Structure formats: structure tokens, C-alpha cells
Structure 1
């Protein structure tokens, strides 16, 4: 750090005035590399923290965090201030990337497990299982369609996209207590619609 409130990357570079994440992201969208360095310093910690909570593996979390920050650099022009804070936008990218990594890892494990069982399973079993899974998915979609918009959006974000309740509240622009209530009520309606025993 050079002067108070200013960031100096190298001695020969001009200092970047202290700025908000929104201002920095606007400059990044215009290709300003020093602004990106300042934004990086501002958001790298929260990004790594969120990704680590999702992945629970520090080495993978660091890798995904770097991918997120590269994506922020590449897609800075897509940030729309009216839709939320710059940090929220960056953390949404981080969460999506982390969840994608978890799903990708799980898909590999599932594929390996299927390959390991292929010689003992009959094709009929696979067709039956696939058909039943499709019917279950259709029932869930039909039941989700019967929920209110807020219930459905809250449940999809929390259970299908892996968002925490506070993150769902921020995305939907409602109070966290409202999210908890809508999810609870929606899950009760889903349980009744699907005929699941208590």
C-alpha cells in the first residue's frame, strides 16, 4: 500500500484510488488491469471462503476460486448494477462454479460405479430404473408447478442449486425469514402432493 486509501501494485505504476467493488468492476469491464488487481484483492477472500464451504477441499477450492476470478475478468461487462451489488454478482459466479465442480466430480464417481456394475446388471434393470427415475422427475415437476412462485424459486435455489437461505434471500430480494417460511410451506405442499409419509 502506498498512500492511505490507495493501492500501488508496483513502484512504477500509478496508484489506483480506493474504490467500491462496483466502481472497480466498471473499470474492469473497460479492460483496466490495475482496477482488476484492486478488485481481486477485494473479493478473493470472500470467493475462496464461499468456494471452500461448498467443496470442502482447499486445493480444489483454490483452483475454482482462480477460475471464478478469471471469469469475472472476462465477463465484467455483463454485470448489471441494478440487479445487485458487485460482490453478490461475483459470489453468484463463485457459487455456480463450485456447485458445477461438485456435480462434475459426482458424475465421474457415478460413471465409475456404473461401469463397475455393468457386468452384473441386465439391460432390463437399467431400462426399468431409467423409466422410474423419469416418472419420479415428472411427478416432482408437476408438484413444483403447484407451488407459489416464491416457494418454487426458493426451493429450486436452495435444494437444486445449493444456495444457503441468506443467499436465496439476497437473490430473491426478500427477508431470510420469508425464505425459510416459503421453503417450509413449499416442502409441506410438495410432501403432500407426492404422497410422502411424514
Structure 2
């Protein structure tokens, strides 16, 4: 009898190919067969991990992504359609997609961090220019103070340069609080106008 033909007269299918075995393991995994899934994992993990590692270029992340891929494979094994490609190709597609997602996520995170850093960045300032500006402002204020009446100037100096409250200024100048507030307010108005004109 021709060994290439089965007893029914048809061609002998021979032993199952590795690709066929993976498809069978996937089908069994889809039915919740944990042993089949463990076998599938052992047969394909090295290749899938290698693909993921080439994409993410980080061993620790590659291990994480590989585990994520197999988790999805376990959950979606029933979606495998042998008419659309081999089991190994289906597994590798899931692994590759997971790896690309991880890379894109990392890149997006890096861009967000760079954007945040850029927004938070305070550009280095010119201390000499800042000092000159402060000195100029001080001169303007001093010049403007000379344009106030003596009582206004005294009240302003106590309140804004001495740091005293209106009540304290009133007590120090032996004035009613309302009068002290009026002098401070009027002095500030004149000060503001004088500085504004000089600008």
C-alpha cells in the first residue's frame, strides 16, 4: 500500500506542522484551556519577545509589553481566523502593535514633559539690567515723593516703606485713622500720577 495515501484512499495528511499546532493551541486557548495556552506561550514567547525588544529597545519594557501582548492573546484567542493568516503571524501582529503603542506612549509622555518644562522655564534674566531698572524705579519714586506735601510724604513713607498699618500710622502721627487714610490715599494718587508722567 502506498504510504502516501490513507486507508480511505485520500492523501495522508502526515504529522501536523508547527504552524498547524499553533493554530490548534490557539483554538484550545479560546475555549479556556490553560494548558494549551501555556504550551502556546512556551512555543512562541522567545520570538514575540525578540520582536517587541527590537521595537521598544528596552529590556524591562519589552518584558512588560510581551506580557501585555499574551494577556490580549488569551482574552482574544477566539478572534483568530486561520483563513486570514498563520497563528504565529497573528501573535506577532499583536505583539508588534503593543510595542508600537508603548513607544508612541513614551514619546507622547516625553513631549508632554518637554512642553511642561518649556512652559515652566523662567528664562535667565540680565541681573545688571534688572538692577539698573530697579535703581531707575527707585529714583522715580524718590523724585515723585518730593512732589507730595510733607504730611502726605510722611504718611506714605510710614505706610509703604515702613510697613505700618493705617491704624499704626494714625497713632504715630497723632491723627484720626480716617485722616491718616486720606493722606495715604491722596499721596498715592499723586505719586502714581507723578510716576506715570515720568514714564
- 2:71 & 2:102 partners in 1: Cα distance? 16
- 2:100 counterpart residue number: 99
- 1:116 & 1:58 partners in 2: Cα distance? 28
- 1:35 counterpart residue number: 36
- 1:109 & 1:54 partners in 2: Cα distance? 17
- 1:119 & 1:73 partners in 2: Cα distance? 44
Deviations 1:42-69 (A, max 9, x none): 1101110000000111111011101111
- 1:53 counterpart residue number: 54
- 1:120 & 1:61 partners in 2: Cα distance? 33
- 2:108 & 2:35 partners in 1: Cα distance? 39
What residue ranges of structure 1 are gaps of 5+ in the alignment?
1-17, 122-198
- 2:99 & 2:68 partners in 1: Cα distance? 10
Which consecutive segments of 4 or more residues in structure 1 shift more than 4 A? none
Larger-gyration structure (1/2): 2
- 1:88 & 1:96 partners in 2: Cα distance? 12
Deviations 1:97-145 (A, max 9, x none): 0000000001110000001112569xxxxxxxxxxxxxxxxxxxxxxxx
- 2:107 & 2:121 partners in 1: Cα distance? 22
- 1:24 counterpart residue number: 25
Deviations 1:161-197 (A, max 9, x none): xxxxxxxxxxxxxxxxxxxxxxxxxxxxxxxxxxxxx
- 1:115 counterpart residue number: 116
Counting only pairs closer than 5 Å after superposition, residues 1-198 of structure 1 correspond to structure 2 as: 20-119=21-120
Root-mean-square deviation (CA, aligned residues, Å) is 1.7
- 1:42 & 1:69 partners in 2: Cα distance? 12
- 2:121 & 2:39 partners in 1: Cα distance? 57
**Aligned-pair distance for 1:89?**
0.3
